[in-house]
Amino acid sequence: MTRKFFGTDGIRGRANDEPITPATVLRLAMAAGRRFRRGNHRHLVVIGKDTRLSGYMLEPALAAGFISMGMDVDLVGPMPTPAVAMLTRSLRADLGVVISASHNPYQDNGIKLFGPDGYKLSDDEEMAIEALMEEDRSEYAEAEALGRATRLDDAPGRYIEFVKQAFPRGLRLDGLKVVVDCANGAAYRVAPAVFYELGAEVIPIGVQPDGTNINKECGATSTALMREQVVVHGADVGIALDGDADRMILADESGAVLDGDQIMGLIARSWQRAEKLRGGGIVATVMSNLGLERYLKNLDLNLVRTAVGDRYVVEHMRAEGFNVGGEQSGHIILSDYGTTGDGLVAALQVLAVVMQEGRKVSDVCHIFDPVPQLLRNVRYKGGAPLEENKVIKAIEAGEQSLGDSGRIVIRKSGTEPVIRVMAEGDDGTLVTGVVDDIVTTIEQVSSA
């Protein structure tokens, strides 16, 4: 069965265009409600969102759909994605829903669904929901069995305390000056509070959402402002979250960026020393730098790679018993604490090492030198350019040129007609040439 609505991370698109319309998300809620309305207990759904203007349109449509199926709804307002995952488990809800397009601009929005265990739904569950959306059988609740919607006013406090529990007992952030960029997104209230309550001096930025400025020139995908403020304020560290706070990028005291690969490597080393690392290494995606793989190998740890997408990282972690995984982009999954990427929990693990070692962030967190890596996106008009003989030969030639000192990753976007071409290796000039040759060949084949 071909997936019509769900992509690699829920449903996503331009707000008020299909499928991100009130009518379609109403059908989604009704179908998901039907799928998860199991057992004889009073059914509950937790709905959170980020700060996009379109959230005001989608939230009541989702709530109406679940209520019509006899499910109660707890509305938590703007809250990070990991907070909704945590609350779904904590409240013993049947389903958790996040209205967010993560790091995308405000014009986009999306729907992420979490099962009662707090994990994102499997492909099979998503396909089952899609099938129910296409059926003309809603199975509405009787009038006396309709659900109710309430506001869960203590949701921010619950999540703040949950995150603080991930910081080592007895350790404090006293004396640490932290710039926290909340991307004008879901964490604009809770993130500064977490670091302040643990003792840090906090300089919050990106905490004035207006519905249209989420991720705009701020946050984990646009770190210039955060890096600048670290230097201006003489801060010890900068932390940039994305719009729904499930990813995080750091900057050291000089404003130099530390990406998810550096963060995963640091946490792996720290947890290995504390004898709490499980699985014999970490799980990352095909995009993680070869430098990380080599660094872990020197620690006698493995780097297991999955397809791009934090859900695939989580699936492998659960199947094979790993407790650290993530993506270069800053999704860090620490299964000792949560079921999905959590920017705040990951940041606290890094800051714990900084405080324990008593050294500058640049000394503690820059743990390996990444090898040269280049990623280029190439648009194509249609067809299957990756199956063309010329493209296949260009990729094979690139692999031969890089040999054992590098690698190539080619993948199609799941949301647009774009092919992503990535290569890395010890020779940066060679890497650039390999990527350019493959991209040029794809462009030639596509335009023919």
- What is the chain's pLDDT, residue by residue, as a tens digit (448 residues)? 567 899 878 999 999 999 999 999 999 999 999 999 888 889 999 999 999 999 999 999 999 999 999 999 999 999 999 999 999 999 999 999 999 999 999 999 999 999 999 999 998 999 999 999 988 666 899 999 999 999 999 999 999 999 999 999 999 999 999 999 999 999 999 999 999 999 999 999 999 999 999 999 999 999 999 999 999 999 999 999 999 999 999 999 999 999 999 999 999 999 999 999 999 999 999 999 999 999 999 999 999 999 988 889 999 999 999 999 999 999 999 999 999 999 999 999 999 999 999 999 999 999 999 999 999 999 888 778 899 899 999 999 999 999 988 999 998 876 678 899 999 999 999 999 999 999 999 999 887 6
Asked if residue 6 belongs to a domain, the reply is no
Contacts of 40 (CB under 8 A, 6+ apart): none
Q: How many domains does the chain have?
A: 4
Asked if residue 5 belongs to a domain, the reply is no
Amino acid at 43: H
Task: Give me the long-range contacts of 282-286 (CB less than 8 A, separation at least 24).
Answer: 282/322, 282/324, 282/325, 282/326, 283/313, 283/316, 283/317, 283/320, 283/322, 283/324, 283/325, 283/326, 284/313, 284/325, 284/326, 284/327, 284/328, 285/309, 285/312, 285/313, 285/327, 285/328, 286/409, 286/411
Say whether 222 is catalytic. Answer: no
Q: Which of 54, 68, 102, 288 is catalytic?
A: 102
- What are 200's two structure tokens? 């840090």
* Domain range enclosing 294: 259-365
- Whether residues 51 and 92 share a domain: the answer is yes
- Whether residues 435 and 421 share a domain: the answer is yes
- Whether residues 381 and 298 share a domain: the answer is no
Which pTM value belongs to this model?
0.92
The neighbouring-strand residues paired with 174 are none
217 and 225 in contact (C-beta within 8 Å)? yes
- Whether residues 19 and 124 share a domain: the answer is yes
- Whether residues 65 and 128 share a domain: the answer is yes
Q: Give the whole-angstrom CA distance, residue 37 versus residue 48.
A: 19
Asked if residue 137 belongs to a domain, the reply is yes
Asked if residue 4 belongs to a domain, the reply is no
